[in-house]
Amino acid sequence: MKAISAENLSVAWLDAVDHLLTTPKGKDVNLVVAFRGIDEDPAIRPLVDAFLGDRSARRSEAVYPIETVASTLFPESWYVPERAAQPRDHLYRCFELAQRVHKRVSGEEETYFGRLVSYPGPNGERVNQLEEQVTRLQGQLRTAAPKSSAYEIGVVEPADLRLQVPGRDRLYMGFPCLSHISLTLHGGAIHLAALYRNQGFLRKGYGNYVGLARLGRFFATELGVAVGEIACVASHADAELDVGTKAGLRQLVSDCRDALGSAAPACEVDRAA
Amino acid sequence: MAVTVEQVWQEAVRALAFVRVLTEDEVQADADGCGGDLVIKSKDAEVVISLVEEALGGDPLVDISQLSRRELTSLRTLTDLLIRRWGELHGAAA
């Protein structure tokens, strides 16, 4: 087990890849990566995306940009709280409309966000976990508010978002790599802990962190609280040397470290507008 | 039923206005400011396709797995593709 804690998601990802580059074949188990809030160093994503684009051009298999990976978990462009009268309803409606078209993609009947808002229940019913958890946590906040006004009493309310469907997800490889997200309301902030049964750090890791940060921002907006800590546990962590090569990844990490802080100070992860 | 490029463009603008929670005029003004086109996200393109297909009678017109990145990120290119497919399906020239 290795635990990494960093001040923002960009540095967390760099530290994780650095660690994996010291392990045999770039792989490890139970890699825990945590970052505070939803800040990102704006210089890093373009470098990682450029590297991914270069690798994509060399492979027959698609290598997706960070934005695409992040949107599979939380398509933030459909969540417009500053303009929509019912922003959550708008988000869910856009998802329904998109699914009509998305289902035509061969082999990709389901998405991570689909599991969040349309999880297959045991009797065939569809469960909107996102809505249930927002409603539940809002209820808890209403109860706790009077107490916290005098003394900052932590309200600990665990909640779960399931992505893996027991008995149905039987693939050794592929969807879903993200099994579970736990939400904890504590100290006036919402904290997320995500469990990946397998996490590819080159092709998915950075996008996973951006997606989780945006999901955290969604809950924070709906609950009127801050985003606390976001932690990811990769039961199996893979630097994906077969895609990036050890030398290539070392150079990427080195370039990114040189660029840290060069564009602007770390700031809140951009909105997918 | 004859469908023109302009009608499909208007449906695409209406769809994008829905996604972005803007007015059609605001979306059209953005497009005008960008030379008559708009860069869109591929996730948004899925919603736009769905709504345009609905407006054109409900027939599935595209398989997004076959679309290029440009077709998924340029509203004008996507519109041109949709009307071309509609024409092929209905044996009518756009």
Dump pLDDT digits (tens) for A20-48: 999 999 999 999 999 999 999 999 999 99
* Residue B17 C-alpha, separation from nearest chain A C-alpha, in angstroms: 11
Please, what are the domains in chain A?
2-268 (3.30.572)
The pLDDT value recorded for residue A105 is: 62
CA angle A2, A192, A114 (to 5 degrees): 115
- DSSP E strands in chain A: the ranges are 2-6, 27-36, 39-40, 119-120, 126-127, 157-162, 178-186, 189-196, 199-200, 226-238, 267-268
B68 and A CB contact within 8 Å: no
Domain ranges for chain B, please list them: 5-86
* Cβ pair B64:A101 closer than 8 A: yes
Give the pLDDT of residue A171: 62
Look at B63 and A104 and tell me if their CB atoms are within 8 Å: yes
Model confidence pLDDT, tens digit, residues B34-78? 999 999 988 899 999 999 999 999 999 988 888 888 888 999 999
Minimum distance, in Å, between the CA of residue B6 and any CA atom of chain A: 23
User: Do A104 and B60 count as a contact with CB atoms less than 8 A apart?
Assistant: yes
Instruction: Say how far apart CA A106 and CA A184 lie, in whole Å.
Output: 36
* DSSP symbol at A61: S
Comparing CA positions, the residue from A208, A206, A210 lying closest to residue A244 is A206
pLDDT of res. A12: 98
- Residue with the bigger pLDDT between A124 and A68: it is A68
Q: At what angle do helices A87-102 and B42-55 cross, to 10 degrees?
A: 80
pLDDT at position A149 is 32
Find all residues with CB under 8 Å of A89, minimum gap 6, and list them.
Answer: none
Return mean pLDDT, chain B. Answer: 91
Contact B19/A94, CB-based, under 8 Å? yes
> How high is the pLDDT of residue B1?
66
Residue found by looking up tokens 């969540």 in the block: A79
User: SS3 for A86?
Assistant: coil
Per the CB < 8 Å rule, is A80 touching B21? yes
Residues of chain B contacting residue A83, judged by C-beta atoms under 8 Å apart: 20-22
The single-letter DSSP state of residue A205 is I
User: What pTM does this model have?
Assistant: 0.89
Confidence band for A146, pLDDT divided at 50, 70 and 90: very low
What is the average per-residue pLDDT within A150-166?
Answer: 56
Test the A interface: residue of B38, B41, B56 with most A CBs within 10 Å: B41
Residues of B in contact with A71 (CB under 8 A): 41, 43
Identify which has the larger pLDDT, B64 or B20: B20
Query: Which residue did the predictor score with more confidence, A112 or A253?
Result: A253
Asked if A104 is an interface residue toward chain B (Cβ–Cβ < 8 A), one would say: yes
Structure tokens at B45: 């393109």
**Residue A144: band (very low, low, confident or very high) from pLDDT cuts 50, 70, 90:** low
B17 Cβ under 8 Å from any chain A Cβ:
no
Give the chain A residue whose CA is nearest to the CA of B19: A78
Note the pLDDT of residue A62: 77
Q: Check the CA dihedral A83-A157-A115-B69 and report its sign.
A: positive
How many beta-carbon pairs below 8 A join chains A and B? 52
Mean pLDDT, residues A75-103 taken together = 94
| CA-CA-CA-CA torsion sign (B35, B41, B45, B51) | negative
